[in-house]
Structure 1
Amino acid sequence: MNDRPVLNAYGVVTEPATLTIERLLPGPVERIWSYITDSDLRRLWLAAGAMQMQAGSPFEFVWRNDELTDPAGERPAGFPAEHRMEGHITEVDPPHRLTITWGSTGGVTFELTPQGKDVRLTIIHRRLGDRSLMLNIAPGWHMHLDILAARLRGERPEPFWDGWARLRQDYDRRLPA
């Protein structure tokens, strides 16, 4: 029996076009902050890319989702082996809050809140106005966070693309039309 505290793993639409997703992760908060801000650690669950922790600083994220798990699962048609995105840091309050621009959307905020020996990670992704975009991003965040949680606990994560495809179907049923 798993005795770890669990939050609802699914992201929810918290206001029009805003996705909020949370995880309770093994702390301390500085450890989770490192997995968000350090390129070598972030690439293990999300994307590589150096960041200077200063508001206004530019960065580039490089996704190679096929490398996140072994096996990776089958990448869906239309998804490249590598994806790049340039952005800027808009707010930084180490080790509790980081807000960044995110492509053509309203940006992403990472909030870290200590809860005993664990840390609540809340990700808020704003201005996802197009449902089809949300149906790609929600299962992506969900799967990336599942991989982060597994890595932090020393567990083997589910193949990325298999999990993403399963979760996309779940989110298609869960998200408002």
Structure 2
Amino acid sequence: MQIAAHEYGVVLESGAVRFERLLPGPIERVWAYLVESDKRATWFCGGEAEPRDGGHVALFFKHSQITKETPPEGARKMNDEGSLMGGTITAWEPPHRFAFNWVGMGDPDSDVEFVLSQAGDKVRLVLTHRRLATKSRMAMVSSGWHLHLGLLEDQLTGRPPGGFWSVHQALETEYAERQKEAEA
């Protein structure tokens, strides 16, 4: 698997990872893919977002909507039937900032923040995910975001979606190794 160095998430501190991508705009279009259920479901998960600070965000994961690849046995139920999680919106600043507390992914809850800014004719997306309590969760979440952001880029550029399950385990292993290097 050939991945450009700038595509990897960066460990900020213990339990936090940040990703940055330059995406085709306009910024309102990228915002729509973050907050509108039908658009978000094409690269990450569906679910309505109540458009205000303190509002509820539903996160309905059904990976068969984003990839036709056969999932590993442990992910089959989420892939085929779906899984509902949610959270509380902590920042709603269209079209620049969307953040939420994610409930249901593990203990403790975690915090996700998307920040969009104009970068010439592109849109800079910065994703930060904090409060990832264990090294295994950090590696799993990092590889997941890496793949989901690749699918977002595929959606925005009109490319066919890249692999997901076929590269997930190798990428998770790579993130675990990268974390060891960051701690050294």
TM-score, length-scaled by structure 2: 0.87
- Residue in 1 aligned with 2:97? 97
- Residue in 2 aligned with 1:77? 73
Distance in 2 (CA, whole Å) between partners of 1:106 and 1:159 is 26
- Superposed CA RMSD in Å reads 1.5
TM-score, length-scaled by structure 1: 0.90
Q: Deviations over 1:13-47 (max 9, x none)?
A: 11221110111100111110000010010000000
SS in 1 for 2:21: strand
Contact 1:66 1:160 in 2 (8 A): no
Distance in 2 (CA, whole Å) between partners of 1:28 and 1:55 is 24
Q: Which runs of 5+ in 1 are unaligned?
A: 1-5
Contact 1:24 1:118 in 2 (8 A): yes
- Residue in 1 aligned with 2:88? 88
Distance in 1 (CA, whole Å) between partners of 2:155 and 2:167 is 16
Structure 1 residue runs of 4+, over 3 Å off? none
Q: Which structure dedicates a bigger proportion of its chain to helix?
A: 2
Distance in 1 (CA, whole Å) between partners of 2:114 and 2:120 is 19
1:109 to 103, 110, 113: 113
Distance in 2 (CA, whole Å) between partners of 1:58 and 1:121 is 22
2:46 to 38, 48, 63: 48
Q: Which runs of 5+ in 2 are unaligned?
A: none
Distance in 1 (CA, whole Å) between partners of 2:85 and 2:155 is 24
- 1:147 maps to 2:143: no
Contact 1:65 1:160 in 2 (8 A): no
Taking only the aligned residue pairs, the percentage that are identical comes to 36
1:7 positional shift: 7.3
